[in-house]
């Protein structure tokens, strides 16, 4: 696998500064190829909305709703999730303030592709890549580390610490629900994530106003590499779209809702019963947008593979064991577009000898039920790993 670099391949341009320049056209390197450009979503579908308090008032029905959402959508909105509404509003606005700080303040935290931690404006290190219309701040939180907190605005750290403990509480509860819904012991996912050593990191996303939103994307189509994402959307500005069959569905956030989506590692652990679904962000000519994506992840060196109870002779293991670190390294090098680029080469392989990594051979049609970007990603990863290992 390519090593993670200390430096970006080209000078990084802050998207906010492009937006502030008043130019009516965007630079070429933000213009997506025609098939990737956003289309208006003409359907009035929405992802399932689940009242989390229903786990107390009508547990069976609520568990079923969550199970259906994880299997059919890979996405749902939670209302009555127990995180205080003033806290969710406050944390979003605090990050908005950060993104409006002068450039010299933000540049103090400029990130590198090695860890991504800090302020950045590009994902992936491929020279000449088409970029997304997005600035972000990436923050590592767990396992305990020297978190790179911005010192402006001064309240940011305090409000984030409180928000984080609420989100991690919610994440732990959801993992139990996911496990029980699959007939597993309630701590199955948490143990597979490394128990108390699980990982957590945040990407605060800032999508500045864009003069040509029909030509670009705020975030290219991708599935999340980690365990699960717990996303605080911008209730005032829609932008997140989820792929459902052949359509893009624009999420209409409920007031104070938190959006949950299954990531690639839970898809692997559940042997593809739960789906890690492609999503993307479209931008807006008149309004900026802020979102906070918390990623609840396995510990980096945990070997992730389908949980044994979910592997049967009728449904053999669909994935080879791989550590989360190996998997994430690939995404960090290639950027989110890569998932999409390789989607027509889908591999489906079973583990044979755990010390053997095989070059994938089988290709499925894109409309096969097993079609999913994660299969491509694993194929590409295996090819990269095969280059550096004796197989
Ligand atoms: O901004 C959003 O609504 C989605 C963000 C997202 O998908 C991500 O940060 O991975």
Distance CA 263, CA 170 (A): 16
Residue 203 tokens read as 């990407």
Residue 113 tokens read as 């592709």
> 125 falls in which pLDDT band (50, 70, 90)?
confident
| Number of neighbours of residue 349 by Cβ within 10 angstroms | 19
Per-residue pLDDT of 346-391, as tens digits, reads 223 333 333 222 223 232 223 333 334 455 545 555 454 443 332 2
Residue 145 is predicted with a pLDDT of 87
Q: For each of the domains in the chain, give its residue range(s) and CATH number, in order of start.
A: 4-369 (2.60.120.330)
Residue tagged 């991708």 (tokens) = 222
Q: What is the pTM of this model?
A: 0.87
> 326 falls in which pLDDT band (50, 70, 90)?
confident
Residue tagged 């965007």 (tokens) = 26
Answer yes or no: is the C-beta of 224 below 6 A from any ligand 1 atom.
yes
Answer yes or no: is the C-beta of 281 below 6 A from any ligand 1 atom.
yes
> Best substitution site from 74, 200, 231 to test ligand 1's pocket, by max atoms within 8 Å of Cβ?
231
Which residue's C-alpha comes closest to atom 9 of ligand 1? 293
Answer yes or no: is the C-beta of 242 below 6 A from any ligand 1 atom.
no
CA of 218 to the centre of ligand 1 (A): 9
> Averaged over 171-195, what is the pLDDT?
97
Cβ contact 333:4 at 8 Å: yes
> Peptide bond before 143: cis, by omega within 30 degrees of 0?
yes
Per-residue pLDDT of 48-107, as tens digits, reads 999 999 999 999 999 999 999 999 999 999 999 999 999 999 999 999 999 999 999 999
> Best substitution site from 219, 295, 328 to test ligand 1's pocket, by max atoms within 8 Å of Cβ?
219
In ligand 1, which atom is closest to the CA atom of 291?
1
> Best substitution site from 138, 205, 280 to test ligand 1's pocket, by max atoms within 8 Å of Cβ?
205
Cβ contact 240:250 at 8 Å: yes
Answer yes or no: is the C-beta of 279 below 6 A from any ligand 1 atom.
yes
Which residue's C-alpha comes closest to atom 1 of ligand 1? 291
Backbone angles phi, psi at 306, to 5 degrees: -55, 135
Sign of dihedral through CA atoms 103, 108, 110, 116? negative
In ligand 1, which atom is closest to the CA atom of 234?
3
CA of 254 to the centre of ligand 1 (A): 17
Answer yes or no: is the C-beta of 228 below 6 A from any ligand 1 atom.
no
CA of 2 to the centre of ligand 1 (A): 25
Answer yes or no: is the C-beta of 233 below 6 A from any ligand 1 atom.
yes
Cβ contact 254:215 at 8 Å: no
Q: In the predicted model, is pLDDT for residue 21 greater than 60? A: yes
Q: In the predicted model, is pLDDT for residue 233 greater than 70? A: yes
The fraction of the chain above a pLDDT of 70, given in percent, is: 82
Q: With H, G, I as helix, E, B as strand and everything else as coil, classify residue 206.
A: strand
Residue tagged 């097993």 (tokens) = 370
Burial class (CB in 10 A: 0-12, 13-18, 19+), 293: buried
Q: Which of 272, 277, 317, 325 is nearest to 297 (CA)?
A: 325
Answer yes or no: is the C-beta of 132 below 6 A from any ligand 1 atom.
no
Q: In the predicted model, is pLDDT for residue 171 greater than 90? A: yes
CA of 324 to the centre of ligand 1 (A): 20
> 3 falls in which pLDDT band (50, 70, 90)?
low
Cβ contact 193:270 at 8 Å: no
Q: In the predicted model, is pLDDT for residue 236 greater than 90? A: yes
CA of 364 to the centre of ligand 1 (A): 29
Distance CA 122, CA 139 (A): 15
* Cα of 102 vs its chain's centroid, Å: 28
> Averaged over 4-19, what is the pLDDT?
91
The DSSP letter of residue 238 is -
Per-residue pLDDT of 244-272, as tens digits, reads 988 999 999 999 999 999 999 999 999 99
Answer yes or no: is the C-beta of 238 below 6 A from any ligand 1 atom.
no
Answer yes or no: is the C-beta of 280 below 6 A from any ligand 1 atom.
no
Residue 79 is predicted with a pLDDT of 97
CB contact set of 235 (below 8 Å; sequence gap of 6+) = 253, 255, 256, 257
């Amino acid at each position: 696998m390519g090593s993670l670099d200390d430096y970006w391949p080209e000078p990084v341009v802050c998207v906010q500064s492009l937006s502030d320049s008043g130019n009516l056209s965007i630079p070429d390197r933000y213009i997506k190829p025609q098939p990737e450009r956003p289309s208006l979503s003409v359907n009035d579908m929405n992802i399932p909305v689940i009242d989390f308090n229903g786990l107390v008032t009508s547990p069976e029905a609520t568990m079923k709703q969550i199970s259906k959402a994880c299997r059919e959508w890979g996405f749902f909105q939670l209302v009555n999730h127990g995180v205080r509404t003033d806290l969710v509003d406050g944390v979003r606005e605090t990050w908005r303030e950060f993104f409006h700080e002068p450039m010299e303040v933000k540049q103090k935290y400029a990130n590198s592709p090695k860890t991504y931690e800090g302020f950045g404006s590009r994902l992936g290190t491929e020279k000449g890549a088409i970029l997304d219309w997005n600035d972000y701040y990436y923050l590592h939180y767990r396992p305990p580390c020297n978190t790179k907190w911005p010192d402006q605005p001064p309240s940011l750290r305090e409000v984030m610490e409180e928000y984080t403990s609420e989100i991690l509480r919610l994440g732990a509860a959801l993992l139990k629900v996911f496990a029980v819904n699959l007939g597993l012991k309630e701590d199955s996912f948490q143990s597979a994530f490394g128990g108390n050593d699980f990982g957590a990191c945040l990407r605060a996303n800032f999508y500045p106003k864009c003069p040509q939103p029909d030509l670009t994307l705020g975030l290219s189509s991708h599935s999340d590499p980690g365990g699960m994402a717990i996303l605080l959307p911008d209730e005032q500005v829609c932008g997140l779209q989820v792929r459902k069959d052949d359509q893009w569905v624009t999420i209409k956030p409920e007031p104070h809702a938190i959006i949950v989506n299954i990531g690639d590692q839970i898809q692997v652990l559940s042997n593809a019963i739960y789906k890690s679904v492609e999503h993307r962000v479209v931008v807006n000519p008149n309004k900026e947008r802020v979102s906070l994506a918390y990623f609840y992840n396995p510990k980096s060196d945990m070997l992730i593979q389908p949980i044994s109870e979910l592997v049967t002779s009728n449904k053999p293991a669909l994935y080879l064991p791989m550590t989360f670190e190996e998997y994430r390294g690939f995404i960090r090098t290639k950027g989110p577009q890569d998932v999409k680029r390789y989607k027509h080469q889908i591999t489906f392989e079973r583990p044979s000898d755990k010390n053997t990594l095989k070059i994938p051979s089988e290709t499925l049609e894109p409309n096969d039920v097993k079609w999913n970007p994660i299969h491509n990603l694993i194929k590409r990863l295996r090819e990269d790993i095969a280059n550096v290992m004796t197989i």
